[in-house]
Amino acid sequence: MKRVLIAGGAGFIGSHLCERFLDEGYEVFCVDNLYTGTRENIIHLEANPHFHFIEESILNPLDMRCEIILNFACPASPPHYQKDPIYTARTSFEGTFHLLELARKNNARFLMASTSEVYGDPEVHPQSESYRGNVNPIGIRSCYDEGKRIAETLTMDYRRFYGLDTKIIRIFNTYGPRMLENDGRVVSNFIVQAIQGKPLTIYGDGSQTRSFCYVSDLVEGIYRMTMKENFSGPVNLGNPEEYTMKELAHLVLELTGSRSSLEFLPLPEDDPKKRRPDITLAKKELNWSPQVPVREGLKATIEYFQKKLKAGASQRQP
Ligand code: UDP
């Protein structure tokens, strides 16, 4: 069996990827230090003899045989990556370095999960892969944005210098089951607040935009990119359906039937004003485009959080 190492495999996106690669007949090695990943995300896979969980940080060098390495290990929501920004930057640089070294040793294919954050607060809209971005190198988002940029650089230099078979994807805002309830991201915040009847917290005036991709669509794109021959990217993966945060709040209220109010809070520093992927390249090279409309994906995510919050509440009963 071919072995795939998924760093960050116990996280939101990583755990869905572990499932997909098991379904495709791979032996999956999930490496995660559970910084933001959880055992709960992968517990259902642990009985599978082809699934192996290794609780380890990518800040430590790893040694094993594998044919494919996917690097999804990094805290990704602003509150989580800003909690210990030096750790975040080290994870992207040193962690990626260790995985690239392992790929080199194994002559493995290496896929780097990068982000739309490499475009910063974009001056070009929508963002295509040729846009070089508008990133503040010294701001509170830099640990993540610049971390991912240097991870892209390292990946490309391993390709040029050692001839390693590398790939880069740039992931735009993604949502779905297994997002953390306390992730601090807009989709999880709004849904949890709506279910609990608390005010929906809109940062700024809510006119900033994001484009939201459902996790199953993203996983399909990642799988196709991993398998694709002679295409190293970078390639944008995201859903071009664009919403203001105010529109999203109203949509969540409608879909949950919640009567929560809206609460306007200060806009965080360096918060990008708009974001929408140009996915022309993904369509052309991977024959990929998102299939799940935002309303449908939100409904499934709302159901997930309703169940999760109910289970949490019954566990807290004496
Ligand atoms: N946001 C918001 N309310 C929240 C959380 C986030 O209005 O409770 C805004 C945030 O300021 C940003 C957008 O929603 O403009 C997306 O934020 P998120 O943290 O989900 O992702 P990112 O900023 O990394 O795209």
Q: Ligand 1: distance of its center to the CA of 248 in Å?
A: 11
Cite the active site residues. 144
Q: Ligand 1: residues whose CB is within 6 Å?
A: 77-78, 173, 185-186, 189, 201-203, 208, 210, 245, 268, 271
pTM (predicted TM-score)? 0.96
- Residue bearing the CA closest to ligand 1, atom 6: 186
* Residue range 3-174+213-240+276-292, CATH number: 3.40.50.720
pLDDT of 188 over the 80 cut: yes
pLDDT of 317 over the 70 cut: no
Q: What is the mean pLDDT of the chain?
A: 97
Convert the pLDDT of each residue in 274-288 to its tens digit.
Answer: 999 999 999 999 999
Convert the pLDDT of each residue in 23-41 to its tens digit.
Answer: 999 999 999 999 999 999 9
Task: Summarize the confidence of residues 233-252 as an average pLDDT.
Answer: 98
Convert the pLDDT of each residue in 146-173 to its tens digit.
Answer: 999 999 999 999 999 999 999 999 999 9
- Residue bearing the CA closest to ligand 1, atom 19: 185
Model pLDDT, residue 316: 59
Convert the pLDDT of each residue in 83-99 to its tens digit.
Answer: 999 999 999 999 999 99
Task: Summarize the confidence of residues 235-248 as an average pLDDT.
Answer: 98
Check: CB of residue 59 under 8 Å from CB of residue 90. yes
pLDDT of 312 over the 90 cut: no
pLDDT of 315 over the 80 cut: no
- Residue bearing the CA closest to ligand 1, atom 18: 185
Task: Summarize the confidence of residues 196-214 as an average pLDDT.
Answer: 97
Domain residue limits, the chain: 3-174+213-240+276-292
Q: Ligand 1: distance of its center to the CA of 186 in Å?
A: 5
